[in-house]
Amino acid sequence: MTNPCKEAITQEDREIVKNLDDYKVIIDLAHEPSIKIYAKKPVSLSQIVLLLKDFGITAKKEIFYSLNDVQISQIFIDTNITALQQAKEKVATIIEQALRGETLERCALYRFVLEKNISLEQVIFLRSLVKYLVQLLPEKKEQSIIKIFLNYPHLINYFIKYFFKQDFMEREKIEEKIHSSFKTVQNYEEDKLLRICYYAICSIKKTNFFAGKECKSYKFDLTKFKKLLPSLQPNIEIFVYHKDFLGVHLRISPVSRGGIRWSDREDFRQEIRDLMITQEAKNAIIIPSGGKGGLYIEKPITKKEFRHYYELYIDAMLDLIDKEPKERGDFYFVVAADKGTADMSDVANAIAIKRGYWLKDAFASGGSHGYNHKKLGVTAHGAWICAARHFIDRKIDIFKDPITVVGTGSMRGDVFGNGMLINPQIKLIGAISSHEIFIDPNPDPAIAFKERKRLFEEQKSWSDYNQTLISKGGGVFLRTQKEIKLSPQIKKVLNIKEDILSAEELAKYLLCAQVDMLYIGGIGTYVKSSEEFNIYIADKYNEPVRVDASALQAFAVCEGGNLGLTQKARIEYAKNGGRINLDSIDNSAGVNTSDYEVNLKIVLNKALKEQKIDENQKHSILKELTQEVLEKVFQENFMQPLAITLDALRSRNDKEDFIKAIELLERELEFFNKKDFDIPKIKEFDTVIDADGAIVRPVLGIVLSFSKIFLKRFILQSNLTQEPFFEHYLYKYFPKSLYPLFEKEVLTHPLAREIIATVAANIIIDNAGIRFIADFDELGSEKFLIKIKSYLLLYALLWIAKAKKELYKKESANKTSIYMQLLEIEDAVEFSVKWIVRNYQEFNSEPFHILNYKNEIAQFLDFKESIHSDFFRYIDLIKFVMPAIYIKELKEYPLNEVLSLLSEILSLFNIDALLQIIYNFSPKDNIGKELKMQLMELVEYFVVATAKDVVFYTRSKESLHDGLMNYIQEKMIDTSFFAQKIQELAQTPQDLMKISNVVHKLLLEAI
């Protein structure tokens, strides 16, 4: 650097200094090319030199001097003078803004300003594009992408022009030039990246780029180019660019939901994408599909700064969403709390309300006027309901009876804290939090409960636990402790031989303790399979304490938190006899509650708009509905584990249907992939079969969830939701006390169709199980629709929900198994559904017409106070209720007489026993399975055909009973012969030929 000299000061310098606010940049190309920088604050010349280098400008020498406290730096340069002549105003402006901190101090993309005379706005577009590509293609580094851009300036310039031109005709011309320019790209990898970049630009459906905001957002339709991307990808994506942070929001469909998290990962989109896929399974029971959002801030910031960035992020996303519902619009956009954003719901809702977004305070669930999950303890309570199913066979009620527990989490946390306060009788042996290990070898339940409650209420950690209340030998230890001297009590309860262990080793012993329940209530993956390597598991923090599933000794695992075990670990644990579902089943109560909140607020906001209620009344009504909402949420937590249990029992004898269902889901659902959920190929399917011959629960759980998703989407693609009968399921979704007051608002709910489809899918899969979808290919779409309608119709017609409700109460009161009875009900419904599907064209199966017979059927079956006992008394007749209606309408006999006739035929020919023999037959191959089905159909045909013949045979003055007796006498049918043959079959080993012989004799001799 030369010494300052008075001769360097010019009159121009004096004029500029006189009017200078902060910075001024002058580019002089008339004499020796130079750039002069005027600054009221000190400027780092090395910083300026590097900035100029980004433009493609080389600094040769510098002169530094000052005037009236203004620093003047003159830098003599070497560059393409012609290019700089054209772009000098833009270059100067960018340098000034960089000095002020208004734009980036360094950016290699500034080269395009000089080379292609682009503006700072266009540089920002390119930079946001590069940042997006880095997230989209994690294997690519930012510098390598920029290098490729710089190698093809003409092509990149066309990309810029394409984005900035809104006229369709002009864009078409630019497209031609782009396609032509691609021919100059010789390298395959470079060509691939540039094409993905181009397709991404082409797929931008909406942007706020031209709104003049500092935070830029783009909405991409990834369906147009996702085939070029690795692994599963969302269909709709919002990318948010700001010079200080980045954000994404990923959605599987326009109607999706999921939390927004503050990520600490550079590849944060990868994390968000994986969570979106996980969310899809969890969202199976609710209206929206899976979605997830997140933002990443590279530099350390304060909570106040984070709130500012969060506000910018939310505001930028709402720029791309329709303010009001409209046909085929993108109007359903909701967010929820997640890691780092637990207290941001009110902030998000305030932005939505200010902007006039139609969802208002339904935009972000769980705010000050929403359902607070922690206060309600909803996630933990739902998880315990799910886990309770594991203990029923042991006649243990985990809500009341003493059980031993080891857990992950602290009493400050929502899921762990609430979970440890559900049952005052639990004996918490120990827990592992993010920093501490708590061990109480022989706790006094009452004392320990009271102390846990204090910690929860005061939001304290394990180190604040009153040490005098811990049983002898116990204590609280830091996870960082190198050595812990073990007490005899700890050694005994954890079966440890060593006297001294590190905290990490002690934590492993604790996880593997022989207890009733391992309760996952905190964040982290604590269990992997023995075949997995830690390097492939995302949670690195808990790697030192992670154990293999084969080492777990807990009777059952309850996953109140997410990702406590890998899916492979769950399968291994289940194969070894452990009782477990999976996290998306156990902790679904939270997302279900949030979804109810959103849909209730939509109804109440409509009522508010129409001035039926005011704001205070709206908040009061939502609060009053809390208990009803929780009952509905917890009912689903009860139903799903029960459905898994019943499917496990079914799978012992019928794996083929489950395999068919899995293959159907993999073919039809983009986000269901056997490999992603560790479901083996058909040849290796035995690897997910437990010691009882059943498919393990973690596999059944994930297939159950995606079966609901498949069924929901199939219903939505049909016209079923528009049929009057299905309107009932819209009302069924909402609390009973709501819809009478707001019927109009419920009926005009923008997601009415989605709600109907979700409720219907939940009812069917929760009760009929996964096998319901197995015959989809065999039936075809039209008949499968009939199957769906028939199932739901029979459910309503035969009071099945009420009969099952009585059984659930019986199970709870007597702690007796009801599984066989539930399966028997579903077998009867399945039998009847199959008959309807085969014969629906021969009679009027319109639901409301059939439901006219509901009370008449109930009277005949003598349904009084205890439906379920009468139900099983008539279980075989129930299989033939629909044929009874069909026969009744052929010739106008009272329905009760036709039912009596069918009942008598069933009894005379011992049909119930014959059907049971056929049902119990276990075929060894597909031919045997097909023959079994044919025999069932033949028996059904015999009963219906005989009843039909008798109805037409009976004279006008005869009763149907007399008609049947005369019919048998005239045809010389020996009913005792069949009764004897069926009795013989029941007493001999299964023999398909003998069964076939009896069935064919029924048909030949009787018909």
> What are the C-alpha distances in Å from 224 to residues 171, 307, 321, 505?
18, 34, 20, 50
Pair 751, 287: CB distance under 8 Å: yes
**Ramachandran angles phi, psi of 563, nearest 5°:** 60, 30
> What is the Cα–Cα distance from 89 to 112, expressed in whole angstroms?
14
Nearest C-alpha neighbor of 133 from the set 288, 287, 246, 20:
246
Pair 661, 707: CB distance under 8 Å: yes
> What is the Cα–Cα distance from 374 to 263, expressed in whole angstroms?
22
- What's the chain's Rg over C-alpha atoms? 35
> What is the Cα–Cα distance from 869 to 579, expressed in whole angstroms?
31
Cβ atoms within 10 Å, residue 885: 22
Under the phi-then-psi rule, with left for phi > 0, alpha for psi from -120 to 50, and beta for the rest, what region is 131? alpha
Task: Report helix angle 142-151 to 188-202, nearest 10.
Answer: 90
Active-site annotation holder among 88, 282, 292, 981: 292
Amino acid, single-letter form, for residue 607: A
> What is the Cα–Cα distance from 219 to 317, expressed in whole angstroms?
8
Interior/surface letters 730-746, b for 16+ CB within 10 angstroms, e for the rest: bbebbbeebbeebeebb
Cβ neighbourhood burial of 35 (10 Å; 0-12, 13-18, 19+): buried
Residues in the chain: 1007
Nearest C-alpha neighbor of 146 from the set 158, 159, 169, 129:
129
Cβ atoms within 10 Å, residue 919: 14
> What is the Cα–Cα distance from 230 to 495, expressed in whole angstroms?
47
Nearest C-alpha neighbor of 569 from the set 511, 607, 603, 527:
527
Residue 369 in tokens: 């006027």
Amino acid, single-letter form, for residue 130: V
Residue 234 in tokens: 């969302």
Interior/surface letters 773-798, b for 16+ CB within 10 angstroms, e for the rest: bbbbeeeeeebbbbbbbbbbbbbebb
Q: Is the dihedral of CA 505, 506, 510, 513 positive or negative?
A: positive
Pair 781, 285: CB distance under 8 Å: no
**Residue 460: active-site member:** no
**Pairing state between β 256-257 and 404-408:** unpaired
Q: Largest alpha-carbon pair distance within the chain?
A: 134
- β partners of residue 67: 70
Tell me 163's DSSP state: H
Pair 704, 679: CB distance under 8 Å: no
Pair 250, 671: CB distance under 8 Å: no
Amino acid, single-letter form, for residue 556: A
- β partners of residue 557: 518
**Pairing state between β 216-221 and 236-241:** antiparallel
> What is the Cα–Cα distance from 867 to 804, expressed in whole angstroms?
9
Contacts 24+ apart (CB under 8 A), 469-473: 470/439, 470/440, 470/443, 471/440, 471/441, 471/442, 471/443, 471/444, 472/441, 472/442, 473/441
Q: Is the dihedral of CA 961, 963, 967, 969 positive or negative?
A: positive
Task: Name the H helices within 21-167.
Answer: 45-55, 81-100, 111-116, 120-136, 142-151, 153-164
Residue 483 in tokens: 């050595």
Active site residues: 292
